[in-house]
Structure 1
Amino acid sequence: MEPFRVAVSDPVPVDWTDRTGPATVVDVVRVAAKDPARRSGKVVANLGAGNSTAAITGPRSAPIQSWLDQLTKRLDVVVFDPRGLGRDAGRIECPRSPASILGLVRGQDEATWRAHAKENAAYDAGCRQAAGPAFAGLNSWQMAHDLDALRAALGEEKLRYFGNSYGTTYGQAYAELFGARLERLYLDGVADHTQARLVDWLSDHAQAQEQQLSRFRDWCARTPSCALYGVDAAAAWDDLVASAGHSTGDLFAGALVGMNPPRWPDLARAIAKARAGDFGDFRTVLQYPPNGPTGSVQSATLCHDFVPALPGYHRFLRIERQLKAIAPRFGWIEGRYQLGRCVGIPGEPAYPPHPLSAPHSPPVLVTIGELDNNTGHLGAAHVASQFPRARPVRHGDGHAAYLLGNTCLRRHGNAYLIDGTLPAPGTVCPGELAP
């Protein structure tokens, strides 16, 4: 195993607008380049929601191991955890978990909305009490400043950064605040933090999910092992919803799990069994993982960044009608899925979404997955369009495909991070990871 060093940052202000106030620290893991004589620099990385350093210091998945092996041929890789989410230092342990992310999907009446909000509010109150003053720093504006402090501590004049999933939010914030200090920026699985209007952000999510249903149908049509082979899988879904009555919440909750491409075979089997009267797979096989481990502040931070201003129940119904108009078969459920994270959680300390302004950023590599139903391709393309020198690369896989091992993305992403070589304009990578 290559040598790695586990550390914490020097103390950083909880609030970077008050550098004399309380301080906190973040966890960092540095994996050294294998051959120091060939080392060409350092890349700082965040791998997405939750704890990134655990993926490096604990048992490594095969994709993470291969990613490290490839980059550390020439680079030191420095992985950091956002404040409050580390392994030890500065970790905030909330006494309660948030409400189920699928709670508003399964129960679609006002009483469920109010009960869900109450459960989330109790989670948030517990986090605030456990965190004390550190709670005031839980948004990506503060974390972008932490990232710049890490750059300085590493002795780097300019930052090379790779962000995956939630890590792209920190990258967008850093480009706005410190664009002149960026050397290279690679974003994959891009979370769109640039939509000022909630309805626009939800509409992009809804349309991407609606398209996912068609892509699932097309996969079934060309895959003999699909349990719905020979059947229009999207029409089978429509018929199932039309006949399900009060069970539609369970159907949509399971399908949100099953629309992730690795789960397409499970979704096809669940629909086939339900057509024969057995809906059990939608409640058992297609289970969503817990919304972060018990005690995590991830949900609170996400809400501070993405949904600090929440609609009430009746205003949300008006938004939902708009979503049903543009994504009537499946995608409209994204409104309930996304707001289920945050209903009941106050927005402060807020870092609201807003149009991106990063005029001093270098050429930015943005890779966009056509099958990504986590951070959809419409939002990723919207982010890329706002960088003055973005190089978007579309690919035929889903979320986190660079980390998961799409060889075309690995080739281009590594060349950019190591040598600064951008792919040719119009480059497209084929899908490799879908079933």
Structure 2
Amino acid sequence: MIRPARPRKPAAVVATVLTTVLLLAACGAPPKVQTALEDVGKADGSATEGAPKGFEDYYGQSLEWTECGEGFQCATASAPLSWKDADAGSIELALRKIPATGQKVGSLLVNPGGPGGSGVDFVGDPGRFGLALRSSFDIVGFDPRGVGSSTPVTCLDDQGKDEFLSTDYPYTPEGLAARIDAVRAWGQACAENTGPLLGTVDTQSAARDMDMLRAALGDDELHYLGFSYGTQLGATYAGLFPDRAGRLVLDGALDPTLSSDEVALQQAEGFESALRAYVADCQAGDQCPLTGSVDEGLQQIHSIVEDAEANPIPTSSARSVTKKLAFYGVAVALYDEASWPYLTQALQGVLWEGTGDDLLYLADVYNDRDEDGSFSSNSEEAFRAINCADGRAEEDMDQMRALAQQIEEAAPTLGESFGYSGIECADWPYPPAEQEFDPSAKGTPPIVVIGTTNDPATPYRWAQSLAKTLDAGVLVTYEGEGHTAYGRSNSCVSGAVEDYLVEGTVPEDGLTC
């Protein structure tokens, strides 16, 4: 995916954060209890079957689980720095699991998206998984290489990162040159502070890590639930290891057939459609600050975002809302219709009171920025590093300019924020990885692909395309708003997902919920 509008988090995470943090005081997390539990792993050598030559010890490792909060267990796995060089050294992968409460089927690996989302954090809320899953599986979240509590990508300090995420660069020759300089400096800092890991955080390497984790967890095949970017990770695994794929569910799908430029255009259209739905809903109520028709309401949002470049919106703090931050604040609330009231509240502040406090808060939720100026995750660092490791957008300035114009015509409200995505990997220190798998993943069991009809971050057509690309793809459609469907939609979706993962019952291809 491209920056700035990234499907970094499933909508359930965004809605949870906004509900619990915007309205309630934050509570501290319980300390970890380091109580050793029984080792899990295959000591008979069967775990190393299928391991690449030289990597047998990684596949055969045992995981030492410790209690890390009530109802959770944590472990650290060792993974090779490079899957091409067994002698290059190792990195760590952090895992957290919710142990099965009933008759265990196996392990279910989950990934919340991003790239850069923490699976360790994601499983911290067991309630987002149905009782059938929690009964039948050890639900295992992991931080992929470069992410969070695993060996991380590290770039700028908090102050530098804050400046990078809030500074506007006008679409002028001078502004674009300044943006290129900032991106170049970011990449250089990543290389200096991360080291050679920066060159091995591509999705294929992360998928190979998943196969190693499958073996270390004692499973003959991988059962997996991936959201957003997690669908790319899951589809990549299926392509690399079709004979070891178990039951895979891919929710909020990315389209593997698209170029980075096509992604930028279609994602801009997706956010435009979602924003239109929000404005119509807002104006149907009696507290909406957007006046006139839906088109006029969209124009008012456009003016708020665009005007913030020349005249940042003041807040009650020393910070102000730039155009970039205004965009983030609007975009994050579109991930789930349950978050729409918070966008209305933020727009009321801007239009009725002349303050950007709530809009700034929403932007900070998007960027994982805490009130004290620190960041609770390295999702931005990992997002850029993984995307640049996977591929590049068009870097010719004339072609970027033409695409930016096309995007603005297709998405007039927020489209300008999607332009010039080819700059985002300018002079990146490492080349992209070469694709080493068949995207059709021939030979797998059925793979369930879920698409939401008005998903802003991963448009519905992407799910349709992924289901067609996969040789065994089965499409399930959720008719609704927001990003992803499982855990935030209806019993039709949850039933299809859980019946497949637990019982192996394949939903009807084309099922509409």
TM-score (norm 2): 0.71
Aligned runs of 1:32-431 on 2, under 5 Å? 32-35=99-102, 38-48=103-113, 49-56=116-123, 60-61=124-125, 64-67=126-129, 69-87=131-149, 89-96=150-157, 98=161, 100=164, 103=167, 107-195=170-258, 197-220=259-282, 223-225=284-286, 227=288, 231-238=292-299, 241=302, 246-247=307-308, 250=323, 252=327, 254-260=329-335, 261-268=337-344, 278=354, 280=356, 284=360, 286-289=362-365, 291=367, 293=375, 297-305=381-389, 307-325=391-409, 327-330=410-413, 332-333=415-416, 335-336=418-419, 342-344=424-426, 346=428, 348-351=430-433, 356-395=439-478, 396-404=480-488, 406-429=490-513
SS at match of 1:19: strand
Matched position secondary structure for 1:29: strand
Shifted more, 199-208 versus 292-301: the winner is 292-301
Q: Is contact 2:153–2:382 with CA below 8 Å preserved after alignment?
A: no
Contact 2:289 2:344 survives alignment (8 Å): yes
Change (3 A) 1:4 1:243: closer
Change (3 A) 1:278 1:91: closer
Is the alpha carbon distance of 1:352 and 1:288 closer, same or farther for their aligned partners in structure 2, counting shifts above 3 Å? farther
Q: Take 1:243 and 1:5, find their aligned partners in 2: how far apart are those partners?
A: 46
Secondary structure of residue in 2 paired with 1:72: helix
TM-aligned CA distance change 1:328 to 1:123, over 3 Å: closer
Contact kept? 1:361, 1:387, Cα under 8 Å:
no
Q: Deviations over 1:284-308 (max 9, x none)?
A: 4653536453655313333225553
Shift of the alpha carbon at 1:147? 0.7
Say which SS state the counterpart of residue 127 (structure 1) adopts.
helix
Contact 1:258 1:266 in 2 (8 A): yes
Counterpart residue number, 2:87:
20
Distance 1:125 1:226 in 2: 47
Structure 1 contact 240–275 (Cα < 8 Å) conserved = no
Query: Gaps (5+ residues) in structure 1?
Result: 430-435
Counterpart Cα distance in 2 of 1:427 and 1:154: 33
**Matched-pair contact (CA < 8 Å) for 1:46–1:164:** yes
Cα shift at 1:69:
4.6
SS at match of 1:207: helix
Task: Please list the CA deviations of residues 49-74 of structure 1 after superposition, one character each: whole Å capped at 9, or x if unmatched.
Answer: 33221343xxx44xx43416542211
- Aligned with residue 29 of structure 1, among 96, 110, 114: 96
Shift of 1:407: 3.6
8 Å contact kept, 1:137–1:349: no
In structure 2, relative to structure 1, the CA distance for the partners of 1:397 and 1:173 (3 Å cut) is same
Using structure 1 for the length normalisation, give the TM-score.
0.82
The 2-side partners of 1:277 and 1:153 are apart by 56
Distance in 1, matches of 2:203 and 2:219, equals: 21
**TM-superposition CA deviations, 1:243-285 (whole Å, max 9, x none):** 9975478365554345443443344456567667947478646
Alpha-carbon spacing, 1:381–1:85, altered in 2? closer, same or farther (3 Å): same
Residue by residue over 1:367-387, the C-alpha shift from the partner in whole angstroms, topping out at 9 and shown as x without a partner, is 112232222223233222211
Aligned to 2:96, the other structure's residue is in SS state strand
CA distance in 1 between counterparts of 2:492 and 2:345 reads: 31
Following the alignment from structure 2 to structure 1, what is the Cα–Cα distance between the partners of residues 111 and 84?
A: 24
Q: Name the stretch that deviates more: 356-365 or 296-305.
A: 296-305
Distance 1:270 1:337, change over 3 A: farther
- Quickly say closer, same or farther: Cα 1:272–1:142, change in 2 above 3 A: same
Q: Contact 1:220 / 1:233 at 8 angstroms: preserved in 2?
A: no
State how far apart, in whole Å, the 2-side matches of 1:298 and 1:242 are.
Answer: 32
Q: Deviations over 1:218-266 (max 9, x none)?
A: 3235x42451588423322226647997547836555434544344334
Structure 1 Cα separation of the partners of residues 510 and 269 of structure 2? 23
Aligned mates of 1:411, 1:374 — CA distance in 2: 24
* Aligned amino acid, residue 459 of structure 2: G
Report how far residue 334 of structure 1 moved. Answer: 5.0
The residue identity in structure 1 corresponding to 2:363 is: Q
Q: Which amino acid aligns with 2:152?
A: R
1:6 aligns with 2:74: yes
> Given that residues 463 and 475 in structure 2 are in contact (C-alpha distance below 8 angstroms), is that contact kept between their aligned partners in structure 1?
no
